[in-house]
Copies of this chain bind each other. A is one copy, B any other.
Amino acid sequence: MKKALFIGFGSVGQALARMLLANADRLQRQGFGLRAIGVFTRTKGNVADDAGLDLGKLLGDVESGNRFGRPACGMTSLEACERLDYDVLVEISPLSIGDCGEPALSHIRAALGRGRDVVTANKGPIAFGYGELKTLAAVHGGRLLFESTVMDGAPVFNLAALCMKGNEITAFSGILNSTTNYILTRMEEGVALDAATADAIRLGIAEADPGNDIDGWDAAAKTAVLARVLLGADVTPLDVSRSGIGDMSCARLQDALKRGKRWKLICRGWRDGDMIRASVGLEELDKKHLFAGLDDFDSAICIESRLMCPNYIVQKGPSPMDTAYGLLEDLLSL
């Protein structure tokens, strides 16, 4: 029975809690059990109990709009990471670009520095601090897993690590930000950027402040994570050549459609001699391109390698359940 500390309990954390509860019997038969000993949040309060918290009760609190009840804990999130007794830190606080991955980066640093394992769906700390965190994990004997930082639960990092052992990845490209792909799809139908953005927020896919999506920062963070992990580059989101979708118009999207094309926000990483290049930007794709067939919240990645033809992974219609599954898969890998 692993003791887990949760930092963050938004839609992904709640989906993970529901998944753990609904599949408890099957997971137990696989020899897997998790005891939540702390849940720390920005807006719902903090609770901690070494004997184990009742995730069902916490879900009830959230669903009824209440803050968490007892046993309340006066520590900060960082203090919890530094002092509580846990086996694995589940870091699912929101992405922060402006603060270069903080405070999640400090949370993860504290856990790894104590030799604890970390699973995270937060791409910020990996995008900004992967090199340092990897070293910390190696020195202190912890593990750092982050499958759900890109394409939710769809296997990307596990696939590269476990299923491409004899190969060398040379480039990747993808549609990795669901919010902008949804907005572009709606704008092709004539819905203005602002209205489409509001819809994405109402559907719960975009965050309340969708600036990170619109400006390409979320995509740049994912691109940095992929460039670091798949290509061994030393880049942060700030190093990714980046443009967003803020200047795109319905008319331009519809004009492309008439010509059999679609504009898509494409993330790329590739080797250029000894350099690794990374970019995020709108590209006009021919309708025959696999990426041009992706609507709404779909996402996809193409992995190019020395020993295989291009392989694509595509997910159709992901939800927070998929991100939660990525975390569960990482927890099972530990």
Contacts and interface: CB of A to CB of B under 8 A. Distances in A.
B153 A162 contact: no
B311 A313 contact: yes
Given A154-B311, A310-B317, A162 B165 contact: no
Interface string A135-176: 000000000000000001111001100111111100000000
Interface residues of A, number: 44
Interface stretch (A123-131, A196-204, A210-218, A322-330): A322-330
Nearest to A158: B163
27 contacts: A19-B307, A23-B166, A26-B168, A32-B166, A152-B308, A154-B308, A154-B311, A159-B159, A159-B163, A162-B162, A162-B163, A166-B325, A167-B325, A288-B293, A290-B290, A290-B316, A308-B315, A308-B318, A308-B322, A309-B315, A309-B319, A309-B321, A309-B322, A310-B316, A311-B315, A312-B315, A312-B316
Interface of A: 19, 23, 26-27, 30, 32, 152-155, 158-159, 162-168, 288, 290, 293, 295, 307-319, 321-322, 325, 328-329, 331-333
4 closest A-B pairs by CB: A155-B163, A312-B314, A158-B163, A162-B162
